[in-house]
Structure 1
Amino acid sequence: MKTITRGFKNQKGAASLLTALVLLICITLVILLTSKTVLVETQITADNYRTSQATAAASAAMNRAEAYFMAGGLDQIDSATGAAGTDGVVDYRSDAPFSFNLTAGTQTTAAQFYFDNTDDNACDCQDDGTKDLDDDGDGDCMGTEGKNMTRALVTAQGWSDDNTAVRTITQCLGTFDLFDGGDGPKQPFVSRASVGVFGNATIINRYTNSSVWTGGANDISGAAFATYLRPSGTETSDYTKDELNSEDETANTQLVSNRNAGAGIDIITNDATLASKTADEFFDMFFSKTKTQVMNAADSVDQKLAAGQSPNGMTGLIWVEGNLTLNANDVVGSPAIPAILIVNGNLTLNGGAIVDGVIYVTGALQITGSPIIRGSIIGESNSASGGGGTLTLVYVPLSGDGESPAFIPGTGAIIAGSWKDW
């Protein structure tokens, strides 16, 4: 047999095979590296998406908490029954938060919020500097522990649809002072004009020594007109709150002014300080905001009414743009949550209408029935009002008198610079 070996010495395939093998290994490494990068990028994208979901859910919870607070403060529900009402307890706390779900397509995220109004939270002493909030003298500004229903730290949390990401946001909520110095008027009735509106009014004031302050003349025409002050030699601390706010003029009072005796020391008339004010200047004597700002504050909580709309059953800041008539069965405000009723027009009080709070009228004030006002009336118009009704006006100051103030819808505010997230 003859063996042919002539072509073997010219073959060079081993080098090509080695080169191909090296290239194959390099390509494999590149593919593996690219796959790893794609995997990492996918994980980062997924993490960002989950974080975005959690952030959106937390933001939704914060928005809901702010809206809830602005509508009525921290105490709007009776915790024992779950019904609307106040019981002196914060509605949603860390141990009982408000929880809800958000659904977008096939994905559902979870969110919750709760309030903290106790001492030593992150909102202590963040105030505008106009007053000292340390009512109980413990070194912080929250007042009696857990009792201040007008100021709190809200914590909002949100989770992604798979609960792998969670976001927490905090924000301080409080109120702004609607009146200069935080307190309402110091008299039951203040007017740029005369006092002829009263007719047979009974004015009771057991808190201060002034019943009427007016820039016009004193026009007492009603036979039953009378003013009553707290008995001489007594202090407000001598009486309970119910006794101070009683509509019974024969209890814990002394008669000061009436038609027969004339105006006593509690009636200040023809005051040039009032008579010389423009309408806006007169408004600024009492309120810390301009008319436009107050109107917008009422509008922000859907309490700006048009002429003809009734505020019956409403509390807090109410702005009526136009004339208003309150009739026999109308009740505005309450002893617990007073109203600040601003009528940018004429106000007529008929029948037995009841108002707890402060009434400010830019136009004429007419009294034709037997209304009861527990608070103050301020008349901006420099023309005399009138009416032969039998008004009962009991002065009740709007200040807290050392107690935790009630939340007045329309005065809620976000504390600037207090927003945090992590």
Structure 2
Amino acid sequence: MKTITHRFKNQWGAASLLTALVLLICITLVILLTSKTVLVETQITADNYRTSQATAAASAAMNHAEAYFMAGGLDHDDEADAINKVDYIETGVEPTPANCVTLENTNNINQTPFNLSLTPAAGGQTTLAQFYFDNSDDNACDCQDDLSRDIDHDGDGDCFGIDNPGKNMTRALVTAKGWSDDCAAVRTITQCLTTFDVFDGGEGPKQPFVSRASVGVFGNATIINRYTNSSIWTGGTNDISGNAFATYLRPSNTETSDYTEAELNSEDETANTQLVSTRNAGAGIDVITDDATLASKTADQFFDMFFAMTKAQFMERAASIDQKLTGGASPNGMGGLIWVEGNLTLNAGAVVGSPATPAILVVNGDLTLNGGATVYGVIYVTGALQITGTPIVKGSVIGESNSTSGGGGTLTLVYVPIAGDDQAPPFIPGTGAIISGSWQDW
């Protein structure tokens, strides 16, 4: 009996060893599982960090693209071989984890996306980003200020009513991409950018000169219009007294399509024109006077005849791009929406707007155009208009005041349509807009 008890006591150590071994295995498994969880969580945290980097980089690229578009549309390059070409396009060349370096922007900006290298001001990891525009017909159709509107009126698929696909510089899809510091993560954002209508019905004035009052200052003007058949539309009398007064239209039996844009917009009254009205011959069919439709309008109603916004909205929009001027400040060198509060004098050498970026200049006061001043675009004057010397306006002039303006100068006014007349609309700074609901990211 004693022998059997002793044998059992000798086995108690083996049981303890087995129990300890089981516990050790369990602890090891717990440690391994915990380590794996920590590793996975570390990977998830790293992935989230890289994704956050890529998202921030893509957002920065989108902000840059929006600012670029708002400043001048899709075509900032005025070089002859780059006009009507989108400045930054997709090439498919992107950073990769194996080649995570900043892509260079080539000299020809029409051949590459816009590439960014983003480093925090305080230093740290550098991320990469790029953006590019696409104004192909499909995107031009989709990226409208009213997504429910079909503006492909003639059914040719170009979505802006002219046989000129891909030439609309006012509407596009922008794609922005961002990469993490190691280029392992990438985020993509797309958004539609467009413009809103400045003019009522989307089309600018159809005449070189429109006034609620008499012709006045235009008694000495040379007015050239190769696009439409009317030169002057006024609610007052025909005050033609200057020796230099003359109006010219496109020759009979010709179309605008018969001429180049340069020929249509030339200030040479002897080129591709026919004389219609002079002081001695009197007013021709291109001069419409004493129109009660104009004379009966209030100042605000007259403004609303031409613009798709109120004066207050126009002023606010101009202020948003720092182009609301006061205290006699000159808009020399500016284009797009410009509001001048008070009287304005444009002196010799001043140039407002350009052929590529016309100005929509509203002067809430009197305007004096001195010799040598040049304006490209539409001028709207609430007060009196005075002409001295030989200024040039390529566009239209609209006079709101009921008082007769004057001046002994000779204005050359060449009608150039801002929108409509089968012209691809130019981008007008101050009219850029983001299509609500068009944002997508992945």
Map of 1:90 onto structure 2: 86
Paired amino acid for 2:34 = T
Map of 2:50 onto structure 1: 50
Per-residue deviation, residues 27-76 of structure 1 (Å, max 9, x unmatched)? 33323222222221111111111101000000100111111111112222
Map of 1:287 onto structure 2: 307
1:194 equivalenced with 2:214 (yes/no): yes
Cα contact 1:79–1:91 (8 A) shared by 2 = no
Q: Shift of residue 134 of structure 1?
A: 6.5
Q: Shift of residue 123 of structure 1?
A: 4.4
Paired amino acid for 2:277 = S
* Superposed counterparts of 1:210-249, under 5 Å: 210-249=230-269
TM-score normalised by L of structure 2: 0.84
Cα contact 1:125–1:140 (8 A) shared by 2 = no
Instruction: Note the residue ranges of structure 1 that are not aligned, 5 or more in a row.
Output: none
* Superposed counterparts of 1:205-354, under 5 Å: 205-354=225-374
Per-residue deviation, residues 214-264 of structure 1 (Å, max 9, x unmatched)? 223333332332333334444434444334333233444444333344443
Q: Does the residue aligned with 2:126 lie in a helix, a strand or coil? A: strand
Cα contact 1:199–1:387 (8 A) shared by 2 = no
**Which residue of the other structure, out of 124, 127, 150, is the alignment partner of 2:141?**
124
Q: Shift of residue 405 of structure 1?
A: 2.8
Map of 2:127 onto structure 1: 109
* Superposed counterparts of 1:391-402, under 5 Å: 391-399=411-419, 401-402=421-422
Q: Does the residue aligned with 1:124 lie in a helix, a strand or coil? A: helix
Paired amino acid for 2:151 = D
In 2: Cα distance, 1:248 partner to 1:10 partner: 124
Map of 2:427 onto structure 1: 407
Instruction: Note the residue ranges of structure 2 that are not aligned, 5 or more in a row.
Output: 92-111
Per-residue deviation, residues 67-103 of structure 1 (Å, max 9, x unmatched)? 11111122223689xxxx9433222111211111111
Map of 1:62 onto structure 2: 62
Map of 2:192 onto structure 1: 172
Q: Does the residue aligned with 2:119 lie in a helix, a strand or coil? A: strand
Map of 1:34 onto structure 2: 34
In 2: Cα distance, 1:199 partner to 1:66 partner: 45
Moved more, 239-248 or 286-295: 239-248
Q: Shift of residue 8 of structure 1?
A: 8.5
In 2: Cα distance, 1:332 partner to 1:294 partner: 18
Cα contact 2:158–2:166 (8 A) shared by 1 = no
Cα contact 2:140–2:158 (8 A) shared by 1 = no
Paired amino acid for 1:92 = Y
Paired amino acid for 2:125 = Q
Cα contact 1:341–1:360 (8 A) shared by 2 = yes
Paired amino acid for 2:205 = P
RMSD: 2.9
Moved more, 85-94 or 183-192: 85-94
Cα contact 1:79–1:89 (8 A) shared by 2 = no
Map of 2:105 onto structure 1: none
**Which residue of the other structure, out of 374, 377, 382, is the alignment partner of 1:357?**
377
* Superposed counterparts of 1:142-181, under 5 Å: 144-181=164-201
In 2: Cα distance, 1:269 partner to 1:115 partner: 47
Q: Shift of residue 335 of structure 1?
A: 2.7
Map of 1:99 onto structure 2: 115
Map of 1:141 onto structure 2: 159
Q: Does the residue aligned with 2:141 lie in a helix, a strand or coil? A: coil
Paired amino acid for 2:169 = M
In 2: Cα distance, 1:343 partner to 1:46 partner: 58
Paired amino acid for 2:127 = T
Moved more, 197-206 or 163-172: 197-206
Cα contact 1:303–1:317 (8 A) shared by 2 = yes
Structure 1 residues 216 and 113, CA gap change in structure 2 (3 angstroms): same
Q: Shift of residue 187 of structure 1?
A: 1.0
TM-score normalised by L of structure 1: 0.87
Structure 1 residues 325 and 113, CA gap change in structure 2 (3 angstroms): same
Structure 1 residues 56 and 180, CA gap change in structure 2 (3 angstroms): same
Q: Shift of residue 307 of structure 1?
A: 3.4
Q: Shift of residue 349 of structure 1?
A: 0.4
Paired amino acid for 1:216 = G
Cα contact 1:198–1:389 (8 A) shared by 2 = no
Structure 1 residues 199 and 140, CA gap change in structure 2 (3 angstroms): closer
Cα contact 1:210–1:266 (8 A) shared by 2 = yes
Structure 1 residues 258 and 79, CA gap change in structure 2 (3 angstroms): closer
Q: Percent identity?
A: 77
Structure 1 residues 213 and 16, CA gap change in structure 2 (3 angstroms): same
Map of 2:392 onto structure 1: 372
Paired amino acid for 1:73 = G
Cα contact 2:143–2:171 (8 A) shared by 1 = no
In 1: Cα distance, 2:262 partner to 2:182 partner: 56
Moved more, 162-171 or 12-21: 12-21
In 1: Cα distance, 2:369 partner to 2:406 partner: 11
Q: Shift of residue 377 of structure 1?
A: 0.2
Q: Report the count of equivalent residues.
A: 413
In 2: Cα distance, 1:346 partner to 1:19 partner: 102
In 2: Cα distance, 1:401 partner to 1:146 partner: 18
